[in-house]
Structure 1
Amino acid sequence: MTADTSVHRLTRDEARRLAVRAQLLDAERPGDVVEVAEQLGAIKIDPTATITTAEHAALWSRIGWAYEPGQLRKAVEQDRLLFESDGHFHAASLLPAHLARMRARVFRERAATWMAANERFRRDVLARLRAEGPMLAAQIPDTSQVAHHDEAGWYGPNQVPRMLDLLAYIGEVGIVGREGRQRVWDIGDRVYAGVPELDAEDAARVLERRRLQAAGIARQKSPWTPVGMAGEPAVVEGSAWKWRVDPDALAGLDDDPGGRVAILNPYDGALFDRPRLKELFGFEFILEQFKPKAQRVYGYFAHPILVGDRFAALLDAQLDKKKENLVVTAVHERDELGGGLDPEEREMVDAEIRDLADWLGVPVVFPGDR
């Protein structure tokens, strides 16, 4: 890596290494859940569990064997070192910035109209939580005046979950825990009591810096990873994009611990910025979950496999809960950045799949075993 007086100049290899290290996917594994959350800022929550849910998969992909699912719940509900909002677990250090952003939000027209028509319902929900919370959505009566017509199918006829989601969007309620997959809610005044106040502009700058920290390197004007003018400017060999780079990540670039194999859930944050994924890694990832079965190439919920700094394969596998084993349908090799898997890399990938099965507590069944 070289730099002139204003712009860092990176090779593609360096840019990919920055991205991999920022996501804690290199050979130097983090020690615990909080370390992961502090670096990544956000860990996606999703219940789709062909192998395991997105949040547990993300933590296992970073920490490995030392991770146990109970550690996440303890960090969120007991230690309060993480908090849940907007479908993610976030580092608690980001709570002031997130709360400032919530309180500055304005509903879009359709949501604003529905909320205005259900003002009494809104007061009922807040009063119930204030008097009796924390509680599940199912414990709160639906006293809505106007039903929301949900063409997308995210909500059922009960209007309470939608009201809670909209109130959470602006910080009037918050999530304090879970019972199974069900969220436990409380009034925002209690959930966010004592949180230091930030104005919206300061909050935006904090969030931009932390997004860049998690990315290592990001396009300067990206709706996928909005980092604003955080960090320092950079150019990447062979790319016409203007980039921003995290100076702390740059400082450690020469101290390279090497790569490893990482199996990533399709909703992993490392995969979210699809344009950057294609630009830096030559990897065009399309989740086939919503495609008709006949149009799928890699499988319903294929997990990308990172080998060093290459997305070299996708794992099509499913946890068979009845037979209690991890069934591998295929490991689809890809040819981005110089070919799929050589024999040594294939052994490493198979070993990582076995480790995943062992962590799940089941044997693995490869295609040749059936």
Structure 2
Amino acid sequence: MAGPVELTREQARRIAVRAQLLDGTSSDPAEHGVIDVVRHLGFVQLDPTAAVAPSADLVLWGRLGAGYDPSELVDLIDRQELVVHHMLARPAEDLTLFRAEMARWPGPEPWKPWQERLYGWVEANDACRREILEALRGDGPLPASAFLDSCEVPWPSSGWNDQRNVRMLLTQMVDRGEIARAGGSGRDTLWDLAERIYPDDPVPEADQAKRIRDERRLTALGIARARAAQAPVEPIHVGEAGVEAVVDGVKGTWRVDPRSLEDADFAPRSVLLSPLDRLVADRKRLTELFEYDYILEMYKPAAKRRWGYWAMPVLHGDRLVGKVDATADRDAGVLRVAAVHEDEPLDAAVRAAVDAELEALAAWLGLGLSRGDGAL
């Protein structure tokens, strides 16, 4: 039996970058549309933070360039070609891969204590759940504010979710596959019966669906661990998908997409990434393969930030070489670049490439470019 595929760190990084459509060979805007990119990536995360631009738009701009129009993403969601599930815009056809799991909410037995408590809370408020379903059946789509809080048992909260019984119940109803987001945003999110939103496609068995999700996740990541710590939005592990690999200088084994081993072409380019980009989402992989130190500092007090509120990682070729601290000041009509933090001193060619990306980002945003003392 053949042993694991042996990779250098550089090879592993290039597999990861190529899989995320961030090298020059895989990122030709003429060959990809928004729906194609999202299908390949698996999803784009809809986060309301817009210090520079919404994360989903930065992700798509990084793959499609100046030709990307954010209204295309909105239109795809409005037409339900992309379906929003827990703030991730996924191709509608992929929702079948989650519905078997929804059907056995809150998870396969035996349940853990937290699952038993969750099940008990929803059961105790079954009358309110049924009222929501009846309202949607007759008048949906509707916002959360249209539903009366008739919960008999309040959501157990330490304070953060006080007086949010309906919203917490809606979340569980999404997980149960009963309702789905039908449009709107933030407090104005609209909800409807899931049967009106999700395609009526055959639902695979739960184990088969998980294998397919693992395989698609590996396609998007290129290289990942078989098992990893629980991630808050989307898993970062891929189970037994792909083939086993070892990376020189890195402990443990990996799983790699075998198709990525067939394509050795790599065209380096520079890209400014969203802090929520999937290339940097797995912080442990980021350290092990890219030897890159990064944390999103928006939740830190300003005085304790090293790189900035929404510091964008800077990709150059297969290396992450710095962070850009920038803010879109729309009132003043400029993209303010407070600093470009260099992980290592950048040579003239890399500086010029990063500067060109800043110019391109400002132009795409329709803003001028204002550089602070710490900028290039």
Change (3 A) 1:230 1:152: farther
Return the offset for 1:87. 1.9
Deviates more, 1:110-119 or 1:9-18: 110-119
Counterpart for residue 47 of structure 2: 46
Residues 107-186 of structure 1: matches in 2 within 5 Å? 108-151=115-158, 153=160, 155=161, 157-179=163-185, 182-186=188-192
Asked if 2 retains the 8 angstrom alpha-carbon contact of 1:95 and 1:195, the reply is no
Indicate which of 266, 279, 291 corresponds to 2:275. Answer: 266
Alignment of 1:350-369 (within 5 A): 350-368=355-373
Q: Which moved more, 1:189-198 or 1:124-133?
A: 189-198
Question: Given residue 161 of structure 1, which amino acid in structure 2 is its aligned partner?
Answer: R
- Corresponding residue to 1:22 among 15, 19, 30: 19
Structural mapping, 1:1-370, within 5 Å = 5-28=2-25, 29=27, 30=29, 31-78=32-79, 80-106=80-106, 108-151=115-158, 153=160, 155=161, 157-179=163-185, 182-223=188-229, 224-252=235-263, 254-256=264-266, 258-335=267-344, 340-368=345-373
Count of matched residue pairs: 359
For 2:106, give the aligned amino acid. Answer: V
Query: 8 Å contact 2:338–2:374 — kept in the other structure?
Result: no
Q: CA deviation at 1:76?
A: 2.0
Distance verdict in 2 for CA 1:369–1:275, change over 3 Å: closer
Give structure 1 regions of 4+ aligned residues with deviation exceeding 6 angstroms. none
Out of 230-239 and 88-97, give the one that drifted further: 88-97
Is contact 2:338-2:371 (8 Å) kept? yes
Give 2:372's aligned amino acid: P
CA contact (8 A) 1:220 1:227 kept: yes
Encode CA deviations 1:256-311: one digit per residue, 9 max, x unaligned. 2x111111111122211111111000012111112222211111221111111111
Q: Deviations over 1:165-223 (max 9, x none)?
A: 11101211011222577322111222235122111001000000011111101122223
Q: Is the 8 A contact 1:104 1:200 kept in 2?
A: no
Letter in 1 for 2:316: V
Per mean C-alpha deviation after superposition, the further-off stretch among 308-317 and 178-187 is 178-187
**Deviation (angstroms), 1:369:** 11
1:288–1:180: structure 2 CA closer, same or farther, 3 Å change rule?
A: closer
Aligned-pair distance for 1:313? 0.9
Q: Which amino acid aligns with 1:125?
A: I
The DSSP-based 3-state class of the residue aligned with 1:174 is strand
- Secondary structure of 2:44's partner? strand
Please give the alpha-carbon distance, in whole angstroms, between the structure 1 residues aligned to 2:146 and 2:176: 22
* TM-score, structure 1 as length reference: 0.91
Unaligned runs of 5+ in 2: 108-114, 230-234
Contact 2:333 2:368 in 1 (8 A): yes
RMSD between aligned residues: 2.0
Q: Are the aligned partners of 2:19 and 2:260 in contact in 1 as well (CA < 8 Å)? A: yes
SS in 2 for 1:71: helix
In the alignment, the residues of structure 2 paired with residue 210 and residue 156 of structure 1 have an alpha-carbon distance, to the nearest angstrom, of 38
- Given that 2:338 and 2:373 are in contact with CA atoms closer than 8 Å, whether structure 1 keeps it comes out as no
The sequence identity of aligned pairs, in percent, is 38
Q: Which deviates more, 287-296 or 324-333?
A: 287-296
1 CA distance for matches of 2:18 and 2:205?
Answer: 31
Unaligned runs of 5+ residues in structure 1 are none
Amino acid at match of 2:284: P
Alignment partners' CA distance in 1, 2:65 and 2:297: 26
Letter in structure 2 aligned against 1:142: D
Q: Separation in 1 of the partners of 2:256 and 2:356? A: 34
* 8 Å Cα contact 2:155-2:162 kept in structure 1: no
State the AA in 1 paired with 2:102.
M
